[in-house]
Every structure is written in structure tokens, then in C-alpha cells.
Amino acid sequence: MPELGKYAATVLSAYGVSLLLLLALTGVSLWRARRVRAELAEVEARTKK
Amino acid sequence: MRSLWEYANPKKFIETSQRVLPAVTWASVACLVVGLIWGFFFTPEDYRQGSTVKIIYLHVPSALMAINAWFMMLLASLIWLIRRHHVSALAARAAAPIGAVMTMIALATGAIWGQPMWGTWWVWDPRLTSFLILFLFYLGYIALWAAVEDDDTAADLTSILCIVGSVFAVLSRYAVNFWNQGLHQGASVMRAGALAGDTEERVSNVFALPLFVCIAGFVLLFVALVLLRTQTEIRARRMRALVARERRG
């Protein structure tokens, strides 16, 4: 861990907030991609019948 | 040579983007991991800003992408309005939440950085204010897509909103030059003197090199997420069309 001195809380909170937002964005994008793909497969199977 | 317009075909777009997505994703992860570890662990403190200088590796790339995402949406919206290619409208829709998150990161890290350096979390400075307005435009754009049921009408209306919002995207980038006031500093990484090699104008390489790696990581992450989310929007649109056809009998 680098020596962040009196600004440790400032730097760590900036990294924490940013990484949390990036991970949430990526997670939601992947989750929605999987859900829509599965739903489309289901609708396509139903309409082909 | 293949025409770019080939990719306006949704099937072709999905096939091609599925092929390139893994490479773009891994390149993005590699750049982000290397850039952020390099910046956080292996760069010195700035003589005036202390360790807060490490926030630059998140603040600058996210702010850059907040503006560039809007310009990408503008280009895609213009293609939709002129050539009526659905994939371009859906790509603009897919990019909006990414741009909104980038703007949120830029605003949050800016506030966190500003507090110890300026003595305040927020000030109604031209650059900060235009960035906040850009963020509100992102939210309005996303809400408008969600509010209008017909996809083509939604694409038309959001394209117009995107053109109007571009004024604030330009202001976000050049507000400091236009008004030359406020607390936010002007461009330092891409300053003309710095690019010409003037060492007095330039950010030291110790800070600049990891910053460029982080910028590359953010750009690649944006591309990867736009490709993934555009695929999702194309599938969601097809699903809505199939369900509507099914209901009509």
C-alpha cells in the first residue's frame, strides 16, 4: 500500500466510488445481455411453433 | 474493401461484434489493471497536491469519455436521421448509460478531489456546471427512450435531443477556454505547448504515461460495453417485434 498521508481517505474514496460504478455498469450490462438473449430464444421458440 | 454500411444489418453487426468483443474486453481489462496499479502504487506524490494527484487516473479518463460518448451518440443519431439505420439508433441508446456513468464518475471524483484542493466540494464554475448539465441531458435522453413506446419515434426524438445536448458536450470541453474563469484548471495533458514538446507546459512523464494507459483502458471499456449493449438492444427490439406480431395473430 503506498503512503497516501493525510489525503488517504480522499484518494481511497475516489477509487472506491469509481470502481464500484464501473463494476455496477459492467454487471448490469452483462446481466441484461443474458436475460434478453434467453427471453428472445424463448419467444423465437414459441413463435416458430 | 467492405462497406461500413454492411454493419447496419443487425445480423452482420452481431456476428462481427461477437468476434471482436473478447479481444476488446481483454485489452480493456489489461490497460485498466496496468494503468491503475501503475498510477496508484508506483507514482510519486505531487509537490503541491500530495497523493490526491492519483485521482487523475480516474477523473481525466472518465471526463474524456463522458464527452466523447455524447459525440459518438451524436454521430449515431445523425446516421439514424439521415440513413434510417436501426443499428445506429440502437448504438446511441446503448451508449447513453455508459456516458452517464462516466459523467457521474467525473463529477464524483472531481468533487472528492476539489474538497481538499479548492476547499469546496462544488462551485458553479463554467466547466463543472456544463458537466452537470451534460449529466442531466444523459438522464433526459435515457428517460425519453424509455417513455416513448414506438422505437422509431423514440429514435427520432432522442436524436433531436442529442443534437441539442451536443452544445453542452462542446461547452464541457471548452468552457474553461471560452470564459477563462472559475476554479477548474484548463487543459494540461493535451495543451498545445505540451504536445509540441515544451517541457514547461507538459505534465511530467511520471504521471502522464500511466494516465495514457488508463485513457486507453477507458476507451476500450467504452467500446466493449457499447458493442455488448448494442447487441442487447438489437435482440430486445427483435423480441418486441415478435411479441407484437404474435399479439396481432
pLDDT at residue B116 greater than cutoff 80: yes
Among B53, B102, B67, B98, which Cα is nearest to B210's? B53
Domain count along chain B: 1
Q: Is residue B108 part of a domain?
A: yes
Tell me: the pLDDT tens digits for B180-189? 666 677 666 6
Q: Write down the pLDDT at residue A28.
A: 98
Closest by Cβ to A14, choosing from B45, B112, B246: B112
**B13 inside domain:** no
Name the band, by pLDDT with cuts 50, 70 and 90, for residue B168.
confident
Residue B146 lies in a domain: yes
**pTM for the full predicted model:** 0.92
A4 vs B161: CA distance, rounded Å = 43
A43 to B113: CB separation less than 8 angstroms, yes or no: no
Number of H helices, E strands in chain A: 1, 0
Contacting residues of B for A44, CB less than 8 Å apart: 242
Residue B171: domain span: 53-180+228-238
**From CA B86, how far away is CA B8, in angstroms rounded?**
7
B21, part of any domain: no
Average per-residue pLDDT for chain A: 94
Residues near A40 by beta carbon (within 8 Å), at least 6 away in sequence: B235, B236, B238, B239, B242
Q: Between B130 and A32, where is the model more confident?
A: A32
Mean pLDDT of B143-150: 95
Three-state SS across B96-138? HHHHHHHHHHHHHHHHHHHHHHHCCCCCCCHHHHHHHHHHHHH
- The reply to whether B114 falls in a domain is yes
What pLDDT, on the 0 to 100 scale, is given for residue B202?
67
Is B160 part of any domain? yes
**Cβ-defined contact of B52 to A11 (cutoff 8 Å):** yes
Q: How many residues does chain A have?
A: 49
